[in-house]
Amino acid sequence: MEQLLLLLIFLPLVGALVTAFSGNAAKHVALVSAIISLALAGIVVCNFTPDASTQFVVNYPWIADLGIHFHAGIDGISIITILLTNVLVPLIILASYQREYKNAAAFFALILFMQSGLLLVFTAMDAFLFYIGWEAALIPIYFICAIWGGKNRIKVNMKFFVYTIAGSLFMLLGIIYLYLQNPAHNFDIQALYALNLDATQQSWIFWAFFIAFAIKMPIFPFHTWQPDTYTEAPAAGTMLLSGIMLKMGIYGVIRWLLPIVPSGLQQWGHLVIILSVIGVLYAAIIAFTQKDAKRLVAYSSIGHVGLIAAGIFALNTQGMQGAMVQMLSHGINVVGLFFVLDIISDRLQTNKIADLGGIAKQAPKLAIVFLIIVLGTVALPGTNGFIGEFLLLIGIYQYNMWTAVFAGLSIIFGAVYMFRMYQNIMLGKTNELTIGFKDIKGSEQVVLYIICALIIVLGVYPKPVLQLSEASVQHLIEQVTQKLTSVN
C-alpha cells in the first residue's frame, strides 16, 4: 500500500512533465493525469480504515546525515484534504477547457506541479519534508498569477509573494529550532510532538508557525494580500488559491501547531479566536460595499476561514469536526462561485455588479446552478455548507457563548450580501450588455453540475466524511488536552 501513496504524490509531477511537452494536447493530458489521481484517491479512501492510525506510511532516509526522511502517511485528518485536492484539480482543469492561454502547456503543467506539492504538504510526517512541500506548492501558483493574471498582476503578485515568503521563513526558523531541541536530531513529527518545551519556548514557536499559517489562510490582519490576488489571478489560479491552497494553513494549524505547542495555544488561543471573529465581521462588512463580484466572493472567503479558525482554536470535537467538513465544503463552493463569475466575465468582460442584471432570463441553466452554489455558501440546511457551519458554531458556543453569537452573525450577513449579489446579477431586467448572454454548455455544464451534485449529496448525507476524520480528530484533541493537563 505504501506504493499507492508514492503514486498519489508523484503522479501529478510526472503528469506535469508530460503536459509541459504536449503542445496543443496539453489540457487533455493534464485532465487525464488529474482523473487518474482522483481514481487513486478513491482507492485510498476505499482502503482507508477510519481509526486514529496513520496508514499507507512511507519512510525512507533522504538526507540521513541531517536526520531528514521522506516520511509520509495518511490519517483521518489528511485524507479529507487529499480528497479535496484530487476532486478539485480535475474540475479546475476542466473549467479552463474553453479558455485560451498563451503557452497552455506550461499553464496546465504548473497546475499539476502544484497538485503534487499540495499532496506532499497534506501527507508529510517529517517537518523538513512538510516545508519542502509548502514551498513547492507556492512556486507554481506564483507563476500562474504572474504570467496569466490581470493588468495589475505584477504589483499584486509581488505583495502575495512577499507575504507568503516572509511567513515561510518564520516557519523555517521554528522548524530549525525544534530540530535543535530534539535529542534524536531529526524532523520526525512524533519526535517533535514528544518534545518537552517550556512555556516561553512554546510561545515563540507558536508565533513562528502561526504567522505562516495565518497568512496562507488568511486570518485578519494577515489577509490584505488576498482580495487583490484573487481578483487579479486567472480564474484557475483563483480557484486553486481559494479552493485548496488556503487549506494548507488550516491543515498546518491542526497537524503541526496544536500538538507541538499546546501551552502556546493556551497562552494565545483566545487572541486568535478574537482575531478570527473580528475577521468574520470585518470581511462581511467590507463585502457589503464591494462593486466587483469577484472581490465580494474573496471577502466572503475570509469570513468563512475566520469561522473555521475559531472552531479549531476552540479545541473541542464539534469545532474540529466542523473545520474538517467545512474545509471540504468551502473548497467546493468557492470554486463553483469563482467559476460562475469567470463564465460571466468571459462573456461580458466585466464582473461589475452594477453593469449586470437579467442573466437568468437568457441563461436559465446558469441561474439554477449559481443559486444552488449560493445556497451552499450561505449554509442552507440540506446543502454541504450547513453541517460544517453548524458544528463550528456549536464548538465555538462550547468555548464561549458571546463569541458564538458574534461569529454566528457571519451567516446572517453572508446570506444578505450573497443573495443581493445573486439578485443584482441574475434577476431583474436585462440590459444592452446582458441581452445576448449565452447559457452554459459543454465542459462548463459538466463542472457546474458536478459541483451542484457534491453540494447536495454532502448536505443530505455528510456521515461518510464525518466518519473518515472522527477518530483522528478525537485522538488529536485528547493528545493536546493530556499535554495541557500534565503541564498544569
Banded model confidence at residue 198, pLDDT cuts 50, 70, 90 = confident
Is the model's pLDDT at 170 over the cut of 80? yes
Is the model's pLDDT at 222 over the cut of 80? no
pLDDT of residue 227: 81
Find the distance separating the first CA and the last CA of the chain, reported in whole Å: 41
Residues 404, 400: Cα–Cα separation, whole Å? 6
Is the model's pLDDT at 400 over the cut of 70? yes
DSSP state of 63: E
Is the model's pLDDT at 151 over the cut of 80? no
Do residues 322 and 422 make contact, with C-beta atoms less than 8 angstroms apart?
Answer: no
pLDDT of residue 334: 93
State pLDDT tens for residues 319-364.
Answer: 999 999 999 999 999 999 999 999 998 888 888 888 888 888 888 9
Is the model's pLDDT at 163 over the cut of 80? yes
Do residues 364 and 439 make contact, with C-beta atoms less than 8 angstroms apart?
Answer: yes
Between CA 101 and CA 112, with CA 107 as vertex, the angle to 5 degrees is 145
Do residues 356 and 424 make contact, with C-beta atoms less than 8 angstroms apart?
Answer: yes
Residue with cell 466585466: 350
Do residues 306 and 396 make contact, with C-beta atoms less than 8 angstroms apart?
Answer: no
Look at residues 387, 393, 389 and name the one whose alpha carbon lies nearest to residue 458: 387
pLDDT of residue 1: 63
pLDDT of residue 18: 93
Is the model's pLDDT at 241 over the cut of 60? yes
Is the model's pLDDT at 107 over the cut of 70? yes
Residues 107, 63: Cα–Cα separation, whole Å? 32
Banded model confidence at residue 94, pLDDT cuts 50, 70, 90 = very high
Give the mean model confidence (pLDDT) for residues 464-485: 88
Banded model confidence at residue 125, pLDDT cuts 50, 70, 90 = very high
Do residues 171 and 134 make contact, with C-beta atoms less than 8 angstroms apart?
Answer: yes
pLDDT of residue 349: 85
292 strand-pairing partners: 352
Peptide bond into 221 cis (omega under 30): yes
- φ/ψ of residue 62, rounded to 5: -115, -65
Look at residues 417, 127, 187, 193 and name the one whose alpha carbon lies nearest to residue 301: 417
DSSP state of 402: H
Containing H/E element for 56? strand 55-63
* Number of other residues whose CB lies within 10 A of the CB of residue 47: 11
Report the greatest alpha carbon distance in the chain: 71
Is the model's pLDDT at 109 over the cut of 90? yes
pLDDT of residue 488: 56
| pLDDT above 70 coverage of the chain, percent | 99
pLDDT of residue 487: 61
Amino acid identity of 62? Answer: W
Q: Is 68 helix (H, G, I), strand (E, B) or coil?
A: strand
| pLDDT above 90 coverage of the chain, percent | 46
Mean pLDDT over the full length of the chain: 89
State pLDDT tens for residues 424-465.
Answer: 999 888 888 888 888 888 889 999 999 999 999 999 999 999
Amino acid identity of 433? Answer: L
State pLDDT tens for residues 2-48.
Answer: 688 999 999 999 999 999 998 888 899 999 999 999 999 999 999 99
Q: Is the dihedral of CA 419, 422, 425, 430 positive or negative?
A: negative
Do residues 358 and 428 make contact, with C-beta atoms less than 8 angstroms apart?
Answer: yes
Task: For residue 9, give Cα distances in angstroms to 4, 40, 46, 439, 469.
Answer: 9, 10, 18, 37, 21
pLDDT of residue 355: 87
